[in-house]
Structure 1
Amino acid sequence: MCKPTTQRQQQANPRMPARGVCLSSLATSKAHGEVSPYFDGWKEYDANPYHPTDNPSGIIQMGLAENQLSFDLLESWLLAHPKASICAEEGVSRFKEIALYQDYHGLPACRKAIAKFMEEVGGRKAMFEKDRIVLTAGATAAHEVLTFCLADPGEAFLVPTPYYPGFDRDLRWRTGVELIPVHCSSDNDFQITIPALEAAYQNARDRNIQVKGLLITNPSNPLGTTMDATALRKLLAFVSGKNIHLVCDEIYSGSVFSSPKFTSIAEILATDKTYQSERVHIIYSLSKDLGLPGFRVGVIYSYNDTVVTAARRMSSFSLVSPQTQHLLASMLSDMEFVRKYLAENSKRLQKRHEMFVSGLRLAGINCLNSNGALFCWVDLRHLLESHDQEGEIILWKIVLKEIGLNVSPGSSCHCSEFGWFRFCFANMTDQIVKESLDRIQLFMKSRRSNQLYDEGGAYQKKPLNADEASEEFNFTGRYSAIEVDNGSLRSMNVHSSGCLRLEEATRSEVPQQELKDGVY
């Protein structure tokens, strides 16, 4: 609590400095949701980012769900359509028109183009009305605006776990709304079950918290899996029975790369009129599917007229630049380009996913089977020294500071099973993916060579005897190395940053007199 200097204190002692001016409870609140390994890992990366030549021992960013695989397609379109930009010579004639005040609800041409794009992403199985689209500065703003519309402070949303760590900030901080986890299990690949929903709902009631809605991500973040029509109908039946809202985050819907295909909640509502569409709301964005997070384009699509009206009023605080809208209206109206882009982007995502997953398998690491989004849900439970949150955070710090990869631990996603991690794979080049896999594979090889771990790299608390130790070099100085078949040392160079860089060194290059007792 802020206690500024009082007037009486200042009169008694004019030289007494005034203590800090009081701030709002929101400004000083600890409920912003950014005290999390998810955000801490980003800070570590920012302080020591990997670069193949300038900083080869730096941290590789695998905590960022960003799609950089299809930028060439976007760039080619822009070069072929210079009139789409008011900053280009060919498009400058519309500069004044776009630079002046625009409709706060969004340019009609842009909303129409986004509606058609969403239809294309959904396989043209449902139609979207442009007048139900509310534009916001990214999906983060869309989520917050919608939360303000649906719930009051102290009320809650049910959210199946694991869920995107940013929801703790985006939905809770300024709205005062609570998030009630719906605990899902790896026993059924983390699918949402009605008993789990009922348990979470009852938990809220036992705490005298009113539940106002259920929030799902489809495709899932962080699982990378999709929900089929049967599962979606069960959720619609659940929210109808509880008289609550259903919010469907579909921001990865155009990033599904293998079977089963994506099914939008809009498709269910279009084919089955028995459900009350007024309680259903969709969040979309162009950050993931189109790879444009810097453009900050989010979408609220609601079937509820009152929500659309309220959201439009609130969107005045998070507008999308008219210049951005003008460009996107032109690009997304080119349906030939849109269809080619979505098809090619899907192929590239599938290829990258297969590359990354196969590399993990070579290292003895498995993932949850997934068919969409920009990441893998990686199972590292066998590497935990203790199967609790402390053990998971210890392993996360090893991955971050020793292997040099920023990934998201499952506990930051509120996963009830420790040892799962989200690895993003679409925000880097093939070369950086290979570097990441090299680091992982070397780490796993070193674990297997260390008798404290079994052949799968699992910790077994077994000390090395003298004979076993003689098979491994454990340098306590600059190097920690293991011997490979050809007599060379594949070493991990530990720099001051605590990160690793792979090097090759022949035995002759290491001073033999310094190898006594395995110390260099």
Structure 2
Amino acid sequence: MRSESSLSKRGRDLTSDRLGPNAREATEKIGLYNGPWDPETNPDGLINLGTAENSLMLDDVAKFVNEQNINFEGEAFDYSEAWGSLRLRKAVSGFINTHFHPHSPTTAANLTISNGCSALFNALGNVLADPGDGILLTRPCYIAFGSGFGLLGGMTPVFISSNKIDQFTPDILPQYEAALKSAEDRGIKVKVLVLCNPHNPLGRCYPPSTLTAILSFCNMYKIHLVADEVYAMSVYSESDAPFTSVLSLDWQKYIDPTYFHHVYGMSKDFASGGLRIGSLWTLSAELQRAVTALANFHHSGTVNALLACNILEDKAFTASFLAKSRQRIAEASSLARDLLDDAGIHYTPANAGFFLWIDLAPWLREEDGEDEWIRERKLIETLIGEKVFIAGGQMHNAEEPGRFRFVFTREQKLVREGVNRLKKVCGIVGRPKVAHK
């Protein structure tokens, strides 16, 4: 067996915590529990409120697929096009044209399919930048952006701090400028900015005024804008800004087409994380050729493609499914807010996605050390010890310790039990309801 010292530098990087906690070790540590929670068969199992998936719609996807009576032919098991069959690319393009309302219709010719959005981030990190180049990310941000672009591509995260400014307004642009200048002062050449709309983990959408400001910013500095809109159809309320796709804007007024790229996938809106379908739309022929060259390493599989086509081509089903999903997400969100309010736990306003950004800073313990980030990690360990998992803010590059991404798209009884365990860890007996602006 090869010792670690015999690995290449890249191999040693992959074993380090340079890009965050080792996912396999963390998962297997959590896996020491005796299975997932079930109130009857496994009451001591783990409550998972950390993985962002819509469990409320899994059975609906399975039911639809089972009713298709798909009779696979031999060609369903050949290699097919690694960058996505023409049928699948047409199905994805048609879905985007119907639901994202692009200013100019997308076409199959401008789409590349991969086995999930993370694989696309990996490919983009390899072809849009050189190792050490920067990627601009808001704080907090989705956990896997840094590793997606950096693990193999070697890109360096450059975080945009909000400094108490609402990052969904154009007022945030000076902070983008400050982050860019800080990177340049450190010798980092920023090549990419990732726009997560709706935002993960904040659960909010960007209004058109902010989107156009970001487009103009990227154009001014020749930065590639990668718009990740994977939660586009999971906006369950218009209490805040509704979803506006960047594609729906007359975006070519603001940015050179070769610097704008759009990513979407079926993992979130279609509760199909296991299907592994992600799409990249770009008008840059050069970028498309480069990503296609890597497609053999990120092939989503022909069987997966056929299942995805059956889902996306059935417009009546997709419309009904998405409407039902939004209703269930809204109901789950309402329950989670009521439970958190009753516990006196604050959260930020949100109207999209599967999660709330909650504040557990009041329950970080002084006895766990002077460093509040260490206190946050200790709280996570204590929560896992009580068999409840919630992703901490440090994993999301939060600006302040004590913030957590609370995923609520689970069965009601599971969410209730999870909050009960959270209250137990924090010593919350009963508190008055709190107001959220």
TM-score, normalization by structure 1:
0.76
| Mapped pair 1:42 → 2:27 | yes
Report the equivalent of 1:391: 375
**Equivalent residue, structure 2, for 1:184:** 162
The residue aligned with 1:359 is 339
Partner SS state of residue 103, structure 1: coil
- Consecutive unaligned residues in structure 1, runs of 5 or more: 5-18, 86-90, 458-520
Aligned mate of 1:139, from 92, 117, 121: 117
Q: Which amino acid aligns with 2:95?
A: F
Bigger shift: residues 246-255 or 390-399: 390-399
Which deviates more from structure 2 when the two are superposed, residues 28-37 or residues 97-106? 28-37
Q: 1:309 aligns with which of 289, 303, 311?
A: 289
CA shift at 1:158, angstroms?
0.9
2:279 aligned partner: 299
Distance in 1 between the 2:324 and 2:245 partners? 21
Change (3 A) 1:347 1:244: same
Change (3 A) 1:173 1:435: same
Can you list the C-alpha shifts for 1:237-268, whole angstroms capped at 9, x where unaligned? 11111111111111111111111321111112
Q: Which deviates further from its counterpart, 101-110 or 52-61?
A: 52-61
CA contact (8 A) 2:168 2:206 kept: no
Match of 1:279 in 2: 259
**Counterpart pick for 2:244 among 254, 260, 263:** 263
Match of 1:424 in 2: 407
The count of corresponding residues between Structure 1 and Structure 2 is: 424
1:51 to partner: Cα distance: 3.0
What does residue 512 of structure 1 align with? none
Q: Does 1:59 pair with 2:38?
A: no
Q: Is 1:26 matched with 2:13?
A: no
Contact 2:101–2:248 (CA<8 Å) still a contact in 1? no
The equivalences for 1:23-422 within 5 A come to 23-29=7-13, 30=15, 33=18, 35-36=20-21, 42-48=27-33, 49-82=36-69, 85=70, 91-92=71-72, 95-123=73-101, 127-186=105-164, 188=166, 193-259=172-238, 260-269=241-250, 273-385=253-365, 388-402=372-386, 404-422=387-405
Distance 1:331 1:390 in 2: 45
Task: Return the offset for 1:43.
Answer: 3.5
Q: Secondary structure at the match of 2:59?
A: helix
Residue identity matched to 1:355: L
CA 1:418–1:456: 2 relative to 1, 3 Å: farther
Q: Which moved more, 1:322-331 or 1:287-296?
A: 322-331
Q: CA deviation at 1:135?
A: 0.8
What is the CA RMSD across the aligned residues, in angstroms?
2.6
Higher relative contact order (CA 8 A, sep 6+): 2
1:38 CA drift (Å): 7.3
Q: Write the distance in 2 (CA, Å) between the matches of 1:455 and 1:157.
A: 43
Letter paired with 2:6:
C
Contact 1:33 1:173 in 2 (8 A): no
Larger Rg: 1
Contact 1:37 1:412 in 2 (8 A): no
Deviation by residue 1:264-317 (Cα, 9 ceiling, x = unmatched): 1111246x5343222011121111111111111111111211111111111121
Change (3 A) 1:367 1:191: farther
Q: Which residue of 2 aligns with 1:438?
A: 420
Partner of 1:12: none
Instruction: Give the direction of change, closer, same or farther, for the CA distance of 1:156–1:333 in structure 2 (3 Å limit).
Output: same
Aligned residue identity for 2:405: R
User: CA separation in 2, counterparts of 1:198 and 1:255?
Assistant: 31
Distance in structure 2 (CA, Å) of the matches to 1:441 and 1:283:
38
